[in-house]
Structure 1
Amino acid sequence: MRVVALGGAGATGAVAARVAANLPRVREVVIADRAGGARVDITDEKSLRDLLKDADVVLNTVGPFYRYGTTVLRAAIDTGTHYLDICDDWQPTRDLLALDGSARAAGVRAVVGMGASPGASNLLAVLAARELTDVDEVHTAWPADGDGDPAATAAVVHWMLQISGRIAVVERGAITERPPLRPLELTLPSGATGTAHTVGHPEPLTFHTTFRPRAATTLMVAPAATIAYLDVLRHDIDTGRLTPDTAARALVRPTPGRVLRSLTRHPAGPGTLPRFFALATGGGHAVEARLDHPTLLDDMAEATGLPLALALAQLDSVPPGVHAPEAAIDPDRFFHDLARHHPDAVPTIHRGRR
């Protein structure tokens, strides 16, 4: 199998390429990027198709996905190249899934959003939801506690986009758009309690199809002070005072004025909530699936690139078309493979009454 790691010179792409190179049946990994390896400009359609035409699979870690996601997937479909990415924007996820018919006609297998969240989070949701006869609500949560790499500019800009404007959630069984950073008080079957806050991500969009819940959200587990400052940035983006790019700089280097404004906000804190979990409820029951592994969760490149490569190992069993992780990847095999790299990264399941 010849694999192209598109964006493979970046931190996340490098992890995915390294892990993929050690998978059975992978005979070659081509590092493709603007700056090194096989140089490619993905805005040049001919250059991109020339790169992909001799590849069996492309691992796409090039963002922002609202700008480049469908460009790469369309090229993969045209060249008959199977496709995996880490898209964590809900709007382009909708556009990527709309290419399902074209991918099926071309015999191309594609899984979108196969990183940490979405990705591993979706598979935690499967572990939780399959314990229930009927699924009423599904929520996933990831940590936003300021331990990430401030130099990861693209990721911070993405974050600003997902805490401003309106985001996709599921309410009353339908996808709708709501303002982000809304609080959700939770009591988990493990006994953990606290408040998490909504953020824009693809999980509710795909859960609407795969689980058909009455409600679904993606949540941030973050200190109250972080949520308060994010709410200031959200307000300034929505009123035109900041762009996502300038808001990202204001997050990395907080300004005194915005810090003072954040002190007037008093959001509820995360309490004892775990950092990375899925919660499914239904029929009077609740199931929590959580992953506690500080080293993995604090390394964004490892947490995102490793799941992408592990999904490659399952691609032969994925049918043609464009799929969300929970619809295509076996969670038991995935977490077994994850534990081979991080032995303590084993999901724990807690059950209780709703």
Structure 2
Amino acid sequence: MDVKEFLNIIGSEFYTGVPDSLLRPVCDYLIDTYGTSGKHIIAANEGNAVAIAAGYYMATGKAAVVYMQNSGIGNTINPVASLLSSDVYAIPCIFIVGWRGEPGIKDEPQHLYQGKVTDRLLEDMDIAAYHLKKDTSYDELCMQMSAFRTLLEKGKSVAFIVSKGALSYENKTEYHNNSTITRESVIKLVTEASDEDVIVSTTGKASRELFEIREHNGQGHQKDFLTVGSMGHSSSIALGIAVNRPERKVWCIDGDGAVIMHMGSMAVIGNVCPQNFVHIVINNSAHESVGGMPTAASTMNLCQIAMGCGYKEAYTAETEKELRNCLMEAAKSNQLTFIEVKTAIGSRKDLGRPTTTPKENLKEFMENMKNQICGHGSR
């Protein structure tokens, strides 16, 4: 179904959410039509989007659309249960949910369980759901939206669970910035600087590129934890490792969208202030792994935020030469260090995915950590 038809049937005048690859037709259409202000706000996380939608309802008396990947449902549970619920304020909302891990459809390991419980989670939150599939007709959707309007008028929320390929859009928006250094070259330089240290990498293409760099160099993966899901939490994982293994330097390869999603973690990291932690944020000001839609990072000073949170050193790099210097300082430093690297949007067309399972990655990583405890070398 054409995305314009779909959104016309829904009939909302305000949209907010977190971009998703399955919902790229929705995201591209909203960017092309409204940009990122006024009628369309790209939120920090899905719970943030729910709160924005609630504010819109309070101001206008109309239900907003909140779009997300189903992996973001967890972020919505608190504001749905304690803000939107018909047992609390009875604020209606229309959710558009990309169905990663749909049963019977091949997908990556981190999506499979989430896909299996998507219907159940929405049902438990008293959100009526409808599956939008490739063969859903215009008339079927109109009938469903009519039924949904009855629920919305009662202060209840509803959801469209969107299967892969169910929506289409005539224009595939291309996203660019003015940076030149690539994310993959940044990660390659980090692996060189980190030597035998631990690396925790964020979700999306960063972890995929780290895996392929190790493969290309004939190196093992035992030093790397690939955070294939749990967007926004890689720095907290790295913190938990760093404070419990103070003899090991821990490098976190993060992304701007992930940092923004759970930015409170930076305040906690700064407060704990582990001396063996290097936090690297690859900032292309885009949700590139799901299509390239913009984040709020282009208007933020991440280094000032890091220093305000208690990080002891903060650097910004825009070239490989600048990054090499920053990494050299971080490698020899015994201070909590933050490095922002401004990078281009884009990746190799032939970029693959890890060939090991998440459980295999964790087992190998923990065995390496255990061996280091036993004294088998650390720099």
Fold match, TM over 0.5? no
> Which protein is richer in strand relative to its size?
1
Q: Which has the higher contact order (CA 8 A, sep 6+)?
A: 1
TM-score under structure 2 normalisation?
Answer: 0.27
> Which protein is richer in helix relative to its size?
2
TM-score under structure 1 normalisation?
Answer: 0.29
Bigger-Rg structure (1/2): 2
